[in-house]
Chain A
Amino acid sequence: MRDLQRRLIAATAAFLLGGALLGPAALAADVTDIGFVDQAALSNTPSFTDANRQLAAFKAGLDRDFARRMRGLHDQNTQARIAQEFQNKLAQRQRDLFGPLFERARVAIASVASSKNLSVVVDKRIVIFGGQDVTSSVIDLLNGPGDPIPPVNTPPPSSVGFVDQTQIDAIPKLKSANDDFQKFQADQQQQAQAKMKSAKSDADRQQILKDYQSALAGKQKQEIQPLVDQTRSVISDVAKKKGLLLVIDRSNLIYGGTDITSDVTSQFK
């Protein structure tokens, strides 16, 4: 009985110990579960090329109409209103043309990622080495007959986290600092431009540029850098707590990943 108990304890300990060692591996899975896609190559597929051509033709027509409408107009408000009107038209057309294509590409990427057991697919630009290039598989699926079929499973847990930088930038404390910096930059630029106007030599102009850069760098170091460091530290802490290895920006993520944006933003409240 005692032997049995010892064996049982030993087996439990071995199982738990093994589980402890394998646990992170399961979470981090295998680093080969990171895939990437060359989005530039996707944009060269026939459907995207055709949509681009249609958009270019539409834009050419809009440009002509725009030039006709703007002729002889000097009132800035009217000009801005008309420009906005045309931009909206172009954006709507772009949505109409590319919306279905993007959705189809998203499904194709998810399908390929699922079939290859990838936990995350990122943009090719940020992958320097390794990872699985799934671009050709995605293109084959896109060029194939019929619509790609969405995967049944959701992406597996990934050791790669992501944050939505735009949401983080909107945190009041960060937004306020950023707005202040933008205003400071605009003021400095205006002053530098005024000085440039009266500069008499290249040396004067060089000096004005140096002063301008120095003022911006000083302000950036004083006001922005501490917040950047703080944000990075918060993201890093959250990621560690969640057992993630890396955190990338949402704009570089195409599929999967672990979203920690809300965890990060809540740390600032």
Chain B
Amino acid sequence: MSPVNSNNGRRAVARALWLLGACATVTGCARGGETSGALASSAPLDSRIGYVRMDELVKVHPLYSQLARLDEDMQALQLKSVGSEIALSGADLAKEEKALQKELDAAAARTKAALVGKEQEYTRREQAAIDAALGAGAGVTGPGGAQIAGSISAQGQAQAQAVTQIANRNLNAYRKELVDQDRRAERALQQALAESAERSYRAEADQVQKAESDYALQLASADAGPRLSLRTKLSNLALDDASRADVKSQLDAIDRKESDALGAMKNRDTDKLVALQKSLHDKMIAQLNVQVAQIRKRTIGKLNERTADTQHALIGQIGRVGGGPGGAPVAGGVSPEMKAKLLALHQKFQHDFNDDASKTVAQFQKTRADLMRRFAQISGVDVDSQAAANKQMSALQKQRGDLYNEMVEQIGREVKVIAEQRGINVVVSDVVAPAGGVDLTADAEKDIESLHE
């Protein structure tokens, strides 16, 4: 091989390599291109795979306004759900509940102490009245009375006081037990009623939400034809400005009409739910008051019964003590007249005590009702509203998901037609970054805009 030949040969190889490099560059450049139909002819490999930017196609879809409205509704709900109606949650709510519970406990304790104090006061006064009656009986009835009064020895008085103290202690223990029972029963009742009200509210809210969702879809479906037709007109480049403005205003009118109709329905539903919430709350409070009053009445009845029993026992015992071992065994050791007088005294004090105690209990019930109302405001309303908001959000999300899927399916059908026409084998969406392949987004946009003529 001569050097010349050898050189020629090397030059020829170099030319071949240059050609190869040039070809590689051409194909490389072609691969680097993102779009254009020209690419299909110059770069067949790239032209066999395509992609679309789905988020952009969704925005030109005729139902996009519906989708955007749902997004706005969800955003508004998200802002509202922790706004006007639901001011408290989590730690704040727990703090408020704790404070209210403390107030309720304090009111109950005050009432209990007042009742105990009154009971003791009335017992003391009754005892004093009995003592006075027995003493006065001695003064007015001559020797018989004096004999009775004289028979009440100092020891007998001390025994009577001891008996009274024991009886009072037992009575107080019984009263405490009753009050505790009442409180437990009232709490259970309150919880049961609140849960029942919450269930009723949720059921109604779910129905309302479903009706709204159905109505929104119904409106969207009913206007889909005219809307798409108008959008198609808009895509006509030959349309003059006046006609374009007219078509746009018609589109806006459709949007407004739907929005107004849905808004009106939502307003009605909101009013309905607010009214329902108030009604349920009022009903709950009324039921609670009635049943609490019944519980209280039963308790007071039991208490009165026990008090009367105690008083009778006391009178009997005091009589026996006063009668002494040598006294006449006439009904507890006192004369029938004196016994009748003592019973009258007891009944009077019992009546006065009941009146006074009823006033105290009524006062407590009023305080309790106020506290319950406040409790319902911070917890009941919060729970109901939060639950309703969550339900509404779920319904909106589902509605949005369904609509989005429907739109994507429709877009997919259009893209498929384009891909087949252009001989593209595979089309994907959700591409992070294109490096080659055919961008079908622009073509798909045109087709989607003129979808439903």
Report A's interface with B, CB cutoff 8 A.
1-2, 5-6, 9, 12-13, 16-17, 19-21, 23-25, 28, 31-32, 34, 74-76, 122, 125-131, 159, 161-163, 165, 189, 192-194, 196-199, 202, 205, 208-209, 212-213, 231-233, 235-236, 239-240, 243-249, 252
Task: Give the number of A-B contacts (CB < 8 Å).
Answer: 171
**Closest residue on chain A to residue B9 by CB atoms:** A5
B49 and A159 contacting across the interface, CB-CB below 8 Å: yes
Given A31-B49, A129-B426, A17-B436 contact (CB < 8 Å) = no
Can you pick out 27 interface pairs between chain A and chain B where the beta carbons lie within 8 Å of each other? A2-B5, A9-B9, A13-B15, A16-B16, A16-B20, A17-B23, A20-B24, A24-B27, A24-B31, A25-B45, A74-B97, A76-B91, A128-B411, A129-B424, A129-B427, A159-B436, A192-B79, A196-B83, A212-B75, A233-B433, A235-B432, A235-B433, A236-B434, A236-B435, A245-B31, A246-B436, A247-B433
**A199 CB, nearest partner CB in chain B, Å:** 7
B432 and A165 contacting across the interface, CB-CB below 8 Å: yes
**B420 CB, nearest partner CB in chain A, Å:** 8
Return chain A residues, CB-CB under 8 Å to B16. Answer: 9, 12-13, 16-17
B324 at the interface (CB under 8 A from A): no
**A213 CB, nearest partner CB in chain B, Å:** 7
A239 and B45 contacting across the interface, CB-CB below 8 Å: no
| Complex Cα spacing A1 to B9, Å | 11
**B320 CB, nearest partner CB in chain A, Å:** 52
B49-67 Cβ-contact flags toward A at 8 Å (1 or 0)? 1111000000000000000
Return chain A residues, CB-CB under 8 Å to B436. Answer: 159, 239-240, 244-246
For B428, give its contact among A17, A233, A246 (CB under 8 Å).
Answer: A246
B420-450 Cβ-contact flags toward A at 8 Å (1 or 0)? 1000111111111111110000000000000
| Complex Cα spacing A213 to B69, Å | 13
B155 at the interface (CB under 8 A from A): no
Which residue among B23, B32, B436 has the maximum number of chain A CB atoms within 10 Å of its CB?
Answer: B436
| Complex Cα spacing A236 to B34, Å | 10
A232 and B432 contacting across the interface, CB-CB below 8 Å: yes
**Majority secondary structure, B binding face:** helix
Beyond the given A24-B27, A74-B91, could you list 14 further A-B residue pairs with CB under 8 A, ordered by the A residue number? A5-B5, A17-B20, A32-B426, A74-B94, A129-B50, A129-B419, A129-B424, A131-B426, A162-B432, A196-B84, A243-B28, A244-B435, A248-B428, A248-B432
| Complex Cα spacing A24 to B436, Å | 12
Return chain A residues, CB-CB under 8 Å to B274. Answer: none
**Closest residue on chain B to residue A23 by CB atoms:** B24
For B79, give its contact among A31, A198, A209 (CB under 8 Å).
Answer: A209
Return chain B residues, CB-CB under 8 Å to A75. Answer: 94
Return chain A residues, CB-CB under 8 Å to B94. Answer: 74-76
Within 8 A of A (CB), among B32-51: 32, 45-46, 48-51
Return chain A residues, CB-CB under 8 Å to B217. Answer: none
Return chain A residues, CB-CB under 8 Å to B183. Answer: none
Return chain A residues, CB-CB under 8 Å to B173. Answer: none
Given A20-B27, A240-B31, A244-B435, A249-B430 contact (CB < 8 Å) = yes
Return chain B residues, CB-CB under 8 Å to A25. Answer: 45
B166 at the interface (CB under 8 A from A): no
| Complex Cα spacing A194 to B430, Å | 37
Return chain B residues, CB-CB under 8 Å to A239. Answer: 433, 435-436
B82 at the interface (CB under 8 A from A): yes
Return chain B residues, CB-CB under 8 Å to A163. Answer: 432
Return chain A residues, CB-CB under 8 Å to B411. Answer: 128
Return chain B residues, CB-CB under 8 Å to A208. Answer: 79
| Complex Cα spacing A209 to B52, Å | 31
Return chain B residues, CB-CB under 8 Å to A31. Answer: 48-49, 425-426
| Complex Cα spacing A90 to B23, Å | 59
B19 at the interface (CB under 8 A from A): yes
A246 and B437 contacting across the interface, CB-CB below 8 Å: yes
B84 and A249 contacting across the interface, CB-CB below 8 Å: no
B432 and A249 contacting across the interface, CB-CB below 8 Å: yes
| Complex Cα spacing A240 to B97, Å | 63
Return chain A residues, CB-CB under 8 Å to B326. Answer: none
**B303 CB, nearest partner CB in chain A, Å:** 30
Return chain A residues, CB-CB under 8 Å to B75. Answer: 209, 212-213
For A205, give its contact among B76, B415, B419 (CB under 8 Å).
Answer: B76
A252 and B430 contacting across the interface, CB-CB below 8 Å: yes
